[in-house]
Amino acid sequence: MKGKKITKILSNIVTWTLGLTLIFMVFVVISSKASGGEPQFLGYQLKTVLSGSMEPTFKTGSIISVKPVEDTSSLKEGDVITFMQQDNSLVTHRITDVIKNGENTMYQTKGDNNVDLDSNPVLAQNVLGKYAGFTIPYLGYFIDFAKSSKGTAILLIVPGVLLLIYSGITVYSALKELDRGQQNQETQKTA
């Protein structure tokens, strides 16, 4: 009796794990495709750290959450911001100085692991968001893989196929159990 209860609990755990994995994969892939880049969740953008310039704060390959900022001229020294560079690449560095010039605001930035300041100050209008304090180490490698065409296919198909196979095994086991129950009833009737 205990064996059946343990098997049922394990079966439920496996089913939920496979189902949630499939849902998470669908979310990551669709969110990445829809935003044209990094996935978004509850108003936060999830960015992949591609270099070691902010180590040890962010490890290369980590995912960080970035919250879009309404008033980009209100940021202060010490804030970690994600901004667009002149070559349209995204960078996440720390503000080391706020430069006010009339109505214009610029930020001098630097990576925590870099010796030198960034060569060009960042215009306030080029700031996309501010680090929201949430990091998942190494998940960025996975997200980058999920955004590739092979990754998309694998991450949607594999959990779905595993869930189908596991469902088939569960149905087969249930049918086998029903057959045993019917055989036991027939044996008891003839005895």
149 catalytic, yes or no?
A: no
pLDDT tens for 81-129 read 999 988 888 899 999 999 998 888 999 999 999 999 999 999 999 999 9
pLDDT tens for 60-82 read 988 898 998 888 888 999 999 99
Length of the chain: 191
**Counted domains in the chain:** 1
User: In this structure, what CATH number is given to the domain that contains residue 56?
Assistant: 2.10.109.10
**∠ Cα 97 46 39 (to 5°):** 145
Q: What is the pLDDT of residue 142?
A: 77
In a domain, 163, yes or no: yes
pTM over 0.75: no
In a domain, 94, yes or no: yes
Domain that holds residue 108: 12-171
In a domain, 187, yes or no: no
Can you say whether the dihedral through the CA atoms of 49, 50, 55, 56 is positive or negative? positive
Q: Which of 11, 31, 32, 51 is catalytic?
A: 51
Angle (deg, nearest 10), helices 149-190 and 139-147 = 100
